[in-house]
Amino acid sequence: MRIEETILRHLIHDDIYARKVIPFLKNEYFNSAPEQLIFDKINAFMLKYNTIPTCEALHIQIEEQTGLSEDIHKQASSILIDLKQGPEKTNVDWLRDSTEKFCQDRALHNAIMDSITILDGRNKLHTKEHLPELLKTALAVSFDSHIGHDFLDDYSERYDFYHRVEEKIPFDLELMNTITYGGLSKKSLNIILAGTGVGKSLAMCHMAAANLTIGKKVLYITLEMSEEKIAERIDANLLNVLITELNTLPRDSYEKKISRIRDKTVGKLIIKEYPTASAHVGHFRHLLNELNLKREFIPDIIYVDYLNICMSSRIKQGSNINSYTYIKSIAEELRGLAVERNVPIMSATQTTRSGFGSSDPGLEDTSESFGLPATADFMVALITTEELEDLNQIMVKQLKNRYADLTTNRRFVIGVDKARMKLYDLEDDAQNDIHDVPIMDKTTFGERRKEEETMKWTTKKMGRKDFSSLKV
């Protein structure tokens, strides 16, 4: 007996089985048109009447169906006659597992066949860029046995969840750890918002270097700068050498410094460059598979420098689609990759034109798409001024935080050494008297009040300063 026949027979004789598997079955999994017809009628009947149909009901519906060939009518009726006899007693677990395997095999087979039509140019709906997502969807087919959390009965598991020690990727900056309760969580998308030249890449290079020193495996994907330029910044950071002096450092001295770092950590850092706007999550997934296969390298954290110049694997580049949808799609794909690989992903985004000169950037200043902050788990803005630059400081403002209370340490300053590509903690008194003042006109969303009327930030170190030169 074919598995298709077994499935159809149980669908019309076993209500419990039908309710378990019908959400996962698809018309396209059945090879013959008559079997597809019978399945469609079963599915439609259950959706409408919330019960399984009888063979008589199916016979009537098929007879009333117009637009079908006489041959399909006859074959479908013949199958129904055979199905009218109920199934033999079958092991429930075996039947469920067999149905799940059937769905998985058919989904993968159909994906491969669709891939062939795409490669041959016969598929008018999709391009080669769709292949990774097509295969990913097929491989993800699975029966979800979890039916939800019982609040009263599952209290013990819930208590354990509250008291779990979550494995995080910590920062080497005290206040960044404070606002994230110890660092970046797995399966999270984390974003730095800043304007050009403010320090997005510097911050991510510093974080990657810090991750390496504590024994983490780090993957740094760059779409803006070359692998050599990213490595140069990390060299300056880890070797504590001026970036301008790296090219004058004697080889033996350089090798000794690298050896000392290698001896102190079990971590690893891979830097991979892609041309701007040429790579998407599908390429990153392939890279991860290759690194695992060839180097046994599975990263603990991934950096993507930066999000806006990635491609979407779901939306063809150049499509007639707005930037909101496109950037949101990229963000969703990156977060999906973070969940799939069980790692945090850190990336960055540009400010809008208005946000670039703003003294108080908000989520609405995210370049191209407000859908990005809607998808991100954690988002901070980097803000600089001439005064801050003179003090070798940069201001951090929380924009979104799923880790902790957003209102605690909403703004703070950290030290920056651009010559050595480093960030560092400041003395506690550097944070004194930093006030957060609303800057949005409540009557008109997105319309900023005049900066001289709204910005009242002061710090003891700076004295009372004019922050009109603030930029992100």
Both 79 and 113 in one domain: the answer is no
Domain with 311, as residue range(s), is 168-454
The pLDDT tens digits of the residues spanning 256-278 come to 999 999 999 999 999 999 988 88
Both 77 and 115 in one domain: the answer is no
Q: Let me know if residue 257 belongs to a domain.
A: yes
pTM above 0.85, yes or no: no
CATH number at residue 259: 3.40.50.300
Q: Let me know if residue 211 belongs to a domain.
A: yes
Q: Which pLDDT value is given to residue 457?
A: 42
Cα–Cα distance between 199 and 276 in angstroms, integer?
A: 19
Closest alpha carbon to 346 in 310, 381, 306, 375: 306
Both 261 and 288 in one domain: the answer is yes
The token duo for 373 is: 């902050």
Cα–Cα distance between 271 and 223 in angstroms, integer?
A: 11
Both 383 and 408 in one domain: the answer is yes
Q: Let me know if residue 472 belongs to a domain.
A: no
Both 71 and 132 in one domain: the answer is no
CATH number at residue 81: 1.10.860
Both 113 and 83 in one domain: the answer is no
The pLDDT tens digits of the residues spanning 340-394 come to 899 999 999 887 554 444 445 555 555 555 667 788 899 999 988 888 888 899 9
The pLDDT tens digits of the residues spanning 87-115 come to 888 888 888 889 989 998 988 988 898 88
| Sheet containing strand 393-401, strands side by side | 268-273, 217-222, 301-305, 345-350, 189-194, 378-383, 393-401, 411-417, 422-424
Number of folded domains in the chain? Answer: 3
Q: Let me know if residue 56 belongs to a domain.
A: yes
| Average pLDDT score over the chain | 83
Sequence-ordered list of residues with C-beta below 8 angstroms from that of 433, at least 6 positions apart, any chain: 458, 459, 460
Position 462 pLDDT exceeds 70:
no
Both 134 and 227 in one domain: the answer is no
Q: Let me know if residue 154 belongs to a domain.
A: no
